[in-house]
Amino acid sequence: MSAPNPLVLSSDAAERVPAPLREPVPLPADHLESVSAWGMSTRVLSHVYRPSTVQGIRHVFTLARERGVAVGLRGAGRSYGDASLLGENVSLDLTRMNRILDWDPQAGIIRAQPGVTIRQVWQCAIEDGWWPYVVPGTMFPTLGGCAAMNIHGKNNWKVGPIGDHIQEFEILLPTGDVRRCSRAENADLFHAAIGGFGVLGCFLSITLELKRVYSGLLHVEPIPVDNLTEMMRVFEERMEGADYLVGWIDCFAGGRETGRGLIHQANYLAPGEDPHPAQTLRVQNQELPDTLFGVFPKGLLWRFMKPFTNNVGMRAVNAAKYHLSRRHGGSGGGHTQSHAGFAFLLDYVPDWKRAYEPGGLIQYQSFIPAAQAHAVFTEQIALCQRRGLVPYLGVFKRHRPDPFLMTHSVDGYSFALDFKVTRANRKQVWGLAAEMDRLVIEAGGRFYFAKDSTLHPARLERYRDEERVRKFLALKRACDPENLLQTELYRRLFTEK
Amino acid sequence: MGSGWERAIIVGASSGIGAAVARELARQGCRHIGLVARRETELSQLAGEIGEGARIYAHDVTCYDQVPLLFQQICRDLGGLDLIIYAAGVMPRITAEEYAFEKDQSTIRVNVLGAVAWLNEAAQRFAVAQSGTIVGLSSVAGDRGRRGQPVYCASKAAFDTYLEGLRNRLGRLGVSVVTIKPGPVDTPMTQGLDKLPMLISADEAARQIVAAARRKTGGIAYVPAKWRPIMFVIRHIPSFLFRKMNI
């Protein structure tokens, strides 16, 4: 039988593989589950374990080692692509490791298990006047997942990624060692595991600093722009004064209107600016409403979106959004909005991704240095239009570099594009992504593993040759000599074929 | 390929219809094929013909205890599973007067219990995935109890009924279960036998089997299709007449 051992990558590592503790036996069938990427474009079968204790995690590592299989760490499964998947092996789902271990309302420091969600964090902290420095566009990812992907928010150029606000963490290495890591202690591992997409070890606790806020509200100003040039000009002008900036782009528009869209700038309220901070900071005043206009259940909305989730419908929706924003936006003044309301746009319509069924969606997000961003993103939009695969959503953000080994960030901009995937267009979408990859690589840009579904290792050669990536892979070998921790993404991009 | 099969297991792949189906699947673009059979040399040769995507697993289908672990291992090696074909089967030669329990037991063990061991694993997996195709290579012999091969016919009838049960259990979950009933096919199993009406080559049988398996609804396919009306008639011959016929 030619059955390669998935734990063995190199002869070096093989020497350190402990002998199986007993005769191999199959993994129990009742743990077999269908596990999907958030975007639903990739699905695997895995033996899923959901421990609620550190001992439980250790047990899963031992079980996998005995069975000769690998372990894929998974939080809330909110990565668009295959970053939280590991088919045909063990999926270690950490959502039951969801206890907040400590909260200091004076210092704004929270210590929590990796399965605690961003929602739990902000709900714990906000009534004491604190808000996470960095949140993604949805409140449902876990802290462990956010740290593993080193997620960013709409304020990345200002406060960096979430890793910049993690004071320390404890991590269980596949060897069984537990390491406390911070900027002062095990700094190498600290800067590698944050953004290390869950292949170095399993976070056991994460200590995060939060930002003091003096109101539950933000001041939000919508700014319509006619094209990408104007979008970038507004970003550059407002970067200093804004706390958050995010741009929406109508990817159907071409020619002189390429990159037209709408920017939202948001700023924290200064102390005293909100006359009722104790009220606006209440969790119930932050929660997103679950009905539309007070009557229509939002849980049903995706069904009404489905008939529009096609090229004709989305062209119309994007155009309508742009023209409405021109009519109502840009008049100055703006409005106030809750932190949760502004931050978690992706949660407004529950299950909205189901409008993309059955094929699902992928998001293609690239990060380009500021000097090349205009040219690259203009060409990306044109390329999508030429190929007839226009993204239904385009989101534009400003970034800054950070000190983490596997950082995706640059001093520049990112552009995130949502593509509908169907059985008929799948090959074309992947082909288009390859074409866009070449533009990104030529411009010295970067990719973001939390979003990636399409990268091919051949296009990452230059990236893998970077000193920091080599250092990361050396750490991987040191922390996980048996190569126990793997994901589909890791296998796709980093293992020898 | 049109059916979306990228990963397949063929049990009983070393020769005959199993080997021909493996070649046909590879020809149609199935990228990863797990070839299971006892004879490693023949498997290696077949894998060499098929190329990079083929993996071989030496296994005796009557070693039922090995199946769960091996099935998981193959799924892991292939990176998943879309299709399983159980093509293992034996038809020991017996004379008209012979009652040979050892041969009969072997027939049941390979043709029925081996199939259940393998296809139960696949059924559980496909039920979770809510997709997948199970193909069982039965025989027209399962339609009646013929005097020449009582246990072989019984084994194929049992296999047919098992597959029908799987089909009824899994059809609502999006899993396709296909019973293939070939007539005589020119394979090592039939060599030396006389009176083989409408004999077809293994390659032709394989082509028709893969085409039948692609039908999403599952069901029963006679190979070649002209056996369907013939067997319809034969199935409806009353017992008192059938026992007088030399079929």
Neighbour-count burial for B217-229, b at 16+ CB within 10 Å, e otherwise: ebebbbbeeebee
Q: Is A73 on the interface with B (CB under 8 A)?
A: no
Of B70, B71, B80, the CB nearest to A45: B80
Cβ-based contacts of B129 with chain A (< 8 Å): 34, 43, 45
Cβ-based contacts of A2 with chain B (< 8 Å): 55-57
Percent of chain B with pLDDT over 70: 96
Output the pLDDT for position B2: 42
Over residues B55-91, the pLDDT tens digits come to 999 999 999 999 999 999 999 999 999 999 999 999 9
A101 φ, ψ (degrees, to nearest 5): -90, -30
Asked if residues A118 and A210 have their Cβ atoms less than 8 Å apart, the reply is no
Token pair listed for A181: 């890591």
DSSP, res B185: E
Predicted TM-score (pTM) of this structure: 0.89
Over residues B82-93, the pLDDT tens digits come to 999 999 999 998
Q: What is the mean pLDDT of chain B?
A: 92
Test A1 with B76 for CB contact under 8 angstroms: no
CA gap A241, A342 in Å, rounded: 18
* Ranges of chain A whose pLDDT falls below 70: 1-23, 329-332, 496-497
Test A1 with B56 for CB contact under 8 angstroms: yes
Of A4, A26, A33, the CB nearest to B72: A26
Output the pLDDT for position A23: 63
Over residues B181-239, the pLDDT tens digits come to 999 888 777 777 667 777 888 999 999 999 999 886 669 999 999 999 999 999 999 99
| Closest chain A C-alpha to B154 CA, distance in angstroms | 31
Output the pLDDT for position A349: 87
Output the pLDDT for position A497: 54
Nearest CA-CA partner of A235 in A258, A256, A262: A262
Provide ipTM, 2 decimals.
Answer: 0.86
Percent of chain A with pLDDT over 70: 94
Token pair listed for A153: 């928010």
Output the pLDDT for position A24: 77
Output the pLDDT for position B177: 96
Radius of gyration of chain A (CA): 23
Output the pLDDT for position A296: 84
Output the pLDDT for position B198: 79
Cite the DSSP H helix spans in B171-226.
202-213
Query: Which structural domains are found in chain A, ordered by start?
Result: 13-93+459-494 (3.30.43.10), 100-212 (3.30.465.10), 217-455 (3.30.70.2520)
Cβ-based contacts of A88 with chain B (< 8 Å): 72, 75-76, 79-80
Average the pLDDT over B130-145 and give the result: 95
Query: Which residues neighbour A424 within 8 Å (Cβ) at sequence distance 6 or greater?
Result: none
Output the pLDDT for position B246: 77
**Would you place residue B112 in the very low, low, confident or very high pLDDT band (cuts 50, 70, 90)?**
very high
| Closest chain A C-alpha to B71 CA, distance in angstroms | 9
Long-range contacts of B95-98 (CB under 8 A, 24+ apart): B96/B147, B96/B148
